[in-house]
Chains A and B, each alone.
Chain A
Amino acid sequence: GQNIDQPTEMTATEGAIVQINCTYQTSGFNGLFWYQQHAGEAPTFLSYNVLDGLEEKGRFSSFLSRSKGYSYLLLKELQMKDSASYLCAVMDSNYQLIWGAGTKLIIKP
């Protein structure tokens, strides 16, 4: 079967750095997406990785290792507004997204 695993909840301090991990087992791989979802709102696109390595976009970076079935989202200089759920999703061989349950990130002052 297809499976995406991410921690249920993480806590970090304002101004710090946090790494959210995602491991996956899917039938085929056509890219990995990270989305941010604030409570009661729609998911919004953060990043996309299809090749191994690090993609940096401002305070957010995303890493992929296809051989290990592993990705992480790195958030630097955390702000209170970063409190949200972070969703990992893998595009499978049928070009459909398989979603993880999301990681709820709590930022404390």
Chain B
Amino acid sequence: NAGVTQTPKFRVLKTGQSMTLLCAQDMNHEYMYWYRQDPGMGLRLIHYSVGEGTTAKGEVPDGYNVSRLKKQNFLLGLESAAPSQTSVYFCASSKNPDSNQPQHFGDGTRLSIL
């Protein structure tokens, strides 16, 4: 019963490096989300997708890009990492938001930018 799987779980980058965070879900959910979680703050939406081939900006999209080439996968890219992007990143998915369907979360990726 995998649910939402994120890779990697931990990563340390140097400023200016790039990387891609991977998210996969096996629940056939249409909607997928990328959040960041920082101490003392609520989860903040970076980007989201309402279906295969679609992406949209959330609250804090700057410095990130996403792609949803397949329904089950949602990728988050950092083109040129900055220390301000040090955070815990969560991927989530849901059937659709206009109902009582909750979002299901992956275990998170802990990313440190030096």
A-to-B contact residues, CB < 8 Å: 4, 8, 30-31, 33, 35, 41-45, 48, 50, 87, 89, 91, 95-102
Contact = CB atoms under 8 A, between A and B. Distances in A.
Given A4-B42, A87-B43, A101-B42, A45 B104 contact: yes
Contact of B41 (A33, A35, A45, A101): A101
A89 B100 CA distance: 13
Contacts of A91: 97
4 closest A-B pairs (Cβ-Cβ)?
A: A99-B42, A45-B102, A95-B97, A42-B105
Contacts, number: 49
A42 B108 contact: yes
10 contacts: A35-B102, A42-B90, A42-B107, A43-B43, A45-B102, A91-B97, A96-B45, A96-B58, A101-B41, A102-B42
Interface string B42-67: 11110010000000001000000000
B contacts with A: majority SS:
loop
Interface residues of B, number: 20
A97 B101 CA distance: 12
